[in-house]
């Protein structure tokens, strides 16, 4: 297998405190976030992650309104963050400068139509998978729309979010979105909206792939006599360390892999088994399946 050759080892330099793609976390000029009233339509996990980040950055809970139909969820948000909550769209949304759409794709259209008259003039940020900005613009009567594809590590401030802006979104709008999304981790902007389907496949769904491999490593560890706790700790530590090394290194992943793969060694045996089983090809196909499903969601719920 050509990919299993061993590259010459070159010690890495001191780790850069910033991610390799520096634009993801570069500090910018002060934003108007402190003076912006923000509304969240939907109060689930992703909304909670963003709200928590905003609160930690000093935004007062009185500047945030959440529309959430579930009474239990409203009570939790009030208790945890001190935000204002509403069971349905109404006058409380008027005057909000930013509206964050955190609802499921299948209900987005009806909720948007219900809210449209109350959010005239606001900037809209959607974290709903698949729903295209053309559909949102038609439902909301606004062109100031940004689509975001976050992932669940945002819950612990380690998210990776892809962003796309319609042409009507100006520099000030982008800075506001940067400040909001930046509270949950890293982010990047894509030039084409269609690229968000690929972002969904790679990073949006990506944490589940990592958990899937962690499950497999734990299973193998227990089959080889380790406790489930020990195997899990080893697997998580390995993923975390390898991800940090890949982030800080100058070389691409294939070179990093080759560094730890001596022909005839243990890693070589494992990778040969994976390759013989077609794991890489199957994994690539899986990501294409995720991308296709993201496209289908736009077709299915965006009419």
Q: Please indicate, yes or no, whether residues 187 and 238 belong to a single structural domain of this protein.
A: no
Residue 285 lies in a domain: yes
Same domain for 178 and 210, yes or no, is no
165 and 275 assigned to the same domain = no
Q: Kindly state whether residues 160 and 215 are assigned to the same domain.
A: no
Element spanning 234, H or E: helix 228-248
Residue 170 lies in a domain: yes
Q: Do 294 and 209 fall into the same domain?
A: yes
Secondary structure string (H, E, C) spanning 52-85: HHHHHCCCCHHHEEEECCCHHHHHHHHHHHCCEE
Residue 7: inside a domain:
no
Which of 143, 172, 195 is the endpoint of a domain? 195
Asked if residue 229 and residue 106 are part of one domain, the reply reads: no
Domain membership flag for residue 71: yes
Smallest CA-to-CA distance from 213 within 233, 183, 191, 236 is with 236
Shortest CA distance to 155 belongs to which of 267, 49, 259, 2?
49
Say yes or no: 237 and 268 in one domain.
yes
In a shared domain, residues 142 and 178: yes
Question: Are 70 and 112 contained in the same domain?
Answer: yes
Domain count along the chain: 2
Please check whether residues 190 and 225 belong to one and the same domain. no
Determine, yes or no, domain membership for 11.
no
Which residues constitute the domain of residue 137?
A: 22-195
Domain boundary among 141, 170, 195: 195
pTM comes to 0.85
Residue 92 domain flag = yes
Whether residue 261 sits in one domain with residue 173 = no
Helices 105-115 and 133-140 cross at an angle (nearest 10°) of 30
Residues 45 and 167 in one domain: yes
CATH number of the domain bearing residue 243: 1.10.3730.10
Q: Give a yes or no: residue 5 inside a domain.
A: no
Among candidate residues 45, 47, 36, 53, the one with its CA nearest the CA of residue 98: 36
What is the per-residue pLDDT for 104?
93
Can you give the CATH number for the domain in which 96 is found?
3.40.50.720
Q: Which of 195, 218, 241 is the last residue of a domain?
A: 195
**What torsion, rounded to 10 degrees, do the Cα atoms 147, 81, 113, 140 define?**
-40
Q: Residue-wise pLDDT tens for the chain (303 aa)?
A: 444 443 333 333 333 333 334 344 444 455 568 789 999 999 999 999 999 999 988 899 999 999 999 999 999 999 999 999 999 999 999 999 999 999 999 999 999 999 999 999 999 999 998 899 999 999 999 999 999 999 999 999 999 999 999 999 999 999 999 999 999 999 999 999 999 999 999 999 999 999 999 999 999 999 999 999 999 999 999 999 999 999 999 999 999 999 999 999 999 999 999 999 999 999 999 999 999 999 999 898 886
């Amino acid at each position: 297998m050509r990919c299993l050759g061993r590259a010459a080892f070159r010690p890495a330099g001191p780790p850069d405190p910033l991610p390799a793609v520096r634009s993801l976390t570069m500090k910018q000029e002060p934003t108007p976030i402190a003076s912006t009233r923000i509304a969240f339509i939907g109060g689930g996990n992703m909304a909670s992650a963003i709200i928590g980040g905003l609160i930690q950055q000093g935004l007062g809970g009185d500047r945030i309104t959440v529309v959430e139909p579930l009474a239990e969820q409203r009570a939790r948000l009030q208790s945890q963050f001190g935000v204002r909550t509403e069971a349905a769209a109404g006058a409380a949304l008027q005057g909000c400068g930013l509206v964050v759409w955190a609802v499921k794709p299948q209900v987005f259209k009806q909720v948007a139509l219900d809210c449209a008259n109350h959010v005239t003039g606001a900037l809209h940020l959607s974290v709903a998978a698949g729903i295209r900005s053309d559909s949102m613009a038609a439902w909301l009567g606004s062109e100031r729309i940004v689509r975001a594809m976050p992932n669940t590590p945002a819950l612990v401030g380690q998210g990776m979010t892809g962003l796309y802006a319609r042409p009507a979104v100006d520099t000030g709008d982008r800075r506001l979105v940067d400040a909001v999304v930046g509270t949950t981790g890293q982010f990047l902007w894509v030039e084409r909206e269609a690229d968000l389907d690929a972002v969904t496949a790679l990073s949006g769904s990506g944490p589940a792939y990592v958990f899937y491999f962690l499950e497999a490593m734990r299973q193998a560890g227990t089959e080889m006599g380790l406790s489930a706790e020990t195997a899990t700790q080893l697997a998580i530590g390995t993923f975390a360390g390898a991800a940090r090394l890949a982030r800080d290194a100058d070389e691409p992943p294939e070179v990093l892999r080759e560094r730890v793969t001596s022909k005839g060694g243990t890693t070589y045996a494992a990778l040969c088994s994976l390759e013989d089983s077609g794991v890489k090809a199957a994994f690539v196909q899986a990501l294409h399946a995720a991308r296709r499903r993201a496209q289908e969601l736009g077709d299915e719920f965006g009419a």
